[in-house]
């Protein structure tokens, strides 16, 4: 098991994604324990399918979020964000989960604006999660 603050090695390139629990800009993209459980319990082909489904869902959610923000539908933004947060938690995509929590929190606050830039940030977090998951699970 990796020490806190270390990176899990990328099996293809030798590089790693930060998987420790530190917050802030260096916060981990992925949860080490969840990634190990997936690696240990699913064959490579099933992991690849899981990532494909996750990426499709991310794309759908980001599109739906952008449309809901455009319409000013906070309830739909909250619903889609919550769905994506659950999916990211299942796969250990902790940074994406935090981005979803932030957007969900904005939706709950009547004073906070929900903006397209938040959707853009969530989209970037989803892309980073997909890349990291593919790197660690392929």
What are 5-49's pLDDT values in tens digits? 333 333 333 333 444 333 345 678 999 999 999 999 999 999 999
Can you read off the two tokens belonging to residue 129? Answer: 């999660």
Pick the CATH number of 44-137 from 1.10.10.10, 3.90.1150.10, 1.20.120.160, 3.40.50.200: 1.20.120.160
Structure tokens at 125: 């977090």
Is the whole model's pTM more than 0.85, yes or no?
no
pLDDT value, residue 7: 38
């Amino acid at each position: 098991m990796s020490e806190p603050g270390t990176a899990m090695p990328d099996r293809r390139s030798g590089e790693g994604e930060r998987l420790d629990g530190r917050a802030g800009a260096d916060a981990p993209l992925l949860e080490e324990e969840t990634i190990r459980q997936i690696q240990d319990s699913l064959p490579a082909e099933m992991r690849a399918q899981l990532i494909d489904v996750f990426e499709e869902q991310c794309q759908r959610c980001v599109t739906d979020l952008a449309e809901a923000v455009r319409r000013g539908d906070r309830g739909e933004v909250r619903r889609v964000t919550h769905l994506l947060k659950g999916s990211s938690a299942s796969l250990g995509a902790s940074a994406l989960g935090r981005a979803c929590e932030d957007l969900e929190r904005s939706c709950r606050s009547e004073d906070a604006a929900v903006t397209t830039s938040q959707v853009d940030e969530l989209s970037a977090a989803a892309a980073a999660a997909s890349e990291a998951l593919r790197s660690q699970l392929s």
